[in-house]
Amino acid sequence: METKLWGPFLYRDYRVLWTILVFGSIVVWMRILSTAQWLLDETGSAYLVGLIGVVQLIVQIPATLWAGTLADRANRKHLITVAHGITGITLLSLGLLDLKGVLTPSMIYLGIAITAGTHMLASPARSALIPIIIPENKLLLATSTDTASQNGAAIAGPLLFAIIALHADLSMVFVLSGIIALIIAILPLCIRTRGKAGDTPEQELSQVKQTLNGFHYVAQHPILPGLFLLDIGITTASFYREILPVLALGLFAGGASATGMLGAANSTGAILGSFFALLLVSYRAKGMLVLYASFAYGIFLFGFGSANNIWIGMLMIGLLGAADAVTVAVRQTTVMLTTPDEMRGRAFALMILAAQTANNIGTIWVGIWIGAIGAGNTMLIGGIISILATTLIWKYWKPIREFRSD
């Protein structure tokens, strides 16, 4: 049957892309944790650890735009191979330098900049390949599977990091993650599907002009700007993942253990939400599905902000993860269904850019308001803004309400 949950895995090329996604996500988490831990161990400065976010933000904005245009100009399979190959070489180099005792913070920041850029190089290219491999009626299955798998990797990666760091050292974390990345770099060469978008007159334009054309296309699209604005509005008002320790302390007077429990509950909820999205593959009103999930997200924020013990907090943050997973899967599916192949790389790049920018601004916004009015009140305000933003998009963005898919 077309709606079987394992439908995407019936396609050989998707199985290869799925493997790249899972192990690539594990590498990302091992890189994030190992670089942060190394900086903290060597410098003892939380400020220097915090600079990681600044480095990543500076690199990822231009890298994402450049990568999206490249994904529509070059062979997407080759881009994925190059990206993971550079990541592997960089992480191996950090590991060997650490083993020799000559690794410095500036080298760590350089490694972070390179790997943050290569991660962005691979993401639009991989996403643009999915609609070529998977039939339209199975795209929500594929994107939901991707979302669940990424959240699974968000659990597996930190666990693998902890095991290696405990029984060996950070040098071996760098080395192993580098080896995994180099193995991943070979896999795109096993994909049989064509890797390059079809030739169009636009291919003769400069990369800058093509990038600007991508902005123009998305701006004129009947659905995508509304979806991106909805994501920005909700995320900016409520992004909680980067400051879970602050929320754990402010809401439940908890420390590291409470932070870990909330993080695990959120990832588990996101995985379950992804599986729930799999069950909705035959639901045609995809636009309304995003709106329903966004309304639910706002309601769950109220529940999280009002929770009076850690167990209710875990339930609410798990439901937040589930609602978010549904919106992510449907948003990605909508980009795939409504964007021509020669424009998909740029459309996905702008979606990623909007999400990342909202994440960073949201971290600042939520952090400031927690300091001013407390964690609970900040989450309640986030719930109000989320529901208001969803209501405005529902009322004034008719194409989203009316969007249907087979």
One domain for residues 273 and 298? yes
In which domain, by residue range, is 42 found?
1-195
- Phi/psi of residue 169, nearest 5 degrees: -160, 180
One domain for residues 258 and 404? yes
> How many other CB atoms sit within 10 Å of the CB of residue 48?
16
CB 126, CB 118: distance < 8 Å: no
pLDDT score at 141: 83
One domain for residues 231 and 130? no
One domain for residues 171 and 208? no
Give the DSSP H/E element, type plus range, for residue 132. Answer: helix 105-133
Q: Distance between CA 133 and CA 113 in Å, rounded? A: 31
CB 143, CB 405: distance < 8 Å: no
pLDDT score at 199: 62
CB 314, CB 406: distance < 8 Å: no
Q: What is the pLDDT of residues 93-132, one digit of tens each?
A: 999 999 999 999 999 999 999 998 998 888 888 888 888 8
Mean pLDDT (the chain, rounded): 86
pLDDT score at 2: 44
One domain for residues 160 and 285? no
* Dihedral of the alpha carbons of 353, 58, 372, 230, in degrees to the nearest 10: -10
One domain for residues 116 and 217? no
C-alpha distances in Å from residue 303, one per residue of 320, 350, 384: 10, 32, 12
Q: Distance between CA 48 and CA 43 in Å, rounded? A: 8
One domain for residues 231 and 132? no
Residues 6+ positions from 201 with CB-CB distance below 8 Å:
none
Domain count, the chain: 2
Q: What is the mean pLDDT of each run of 10 residues along the chain (406 residues)?
A: 65 92 92 83 76 80 86 89 96 95 93 92 88 84 85 83 82 94 94 75 72 88 91 85 74 74 84 82 83 94 91 93 89 86 86 82 80 87 94 92 81
Extract the tokens encoding 200: 């169009």
pLDDT score at 384: 94
One domain for residues 112 and 180? yes
The domain boundary residue, chosen from 139, 172, 195: 195
pLDDT score at 204: 66
Residues 6+ positions from 44 with CB-CB distance below 8 Å:
none
Q: What is the pLDDT of residues 203-236, one digit of tens each?
A: 666 778 888 888 899 899 999 999 999 988 898 8
pTM of this prediction? 0.78
One domain for residues 222 and 241? yes
One domain for residues 41 and 165? yes
Q: Supply the CATH number for residue 123's domain.
A: 1.20.1250.20
Q: What is the pLDDT of residues 83-99, one digit of tens each?
A: 999 999 999 999 999 99
The domain boundary residue, chosen from 158, 176, 195: 195
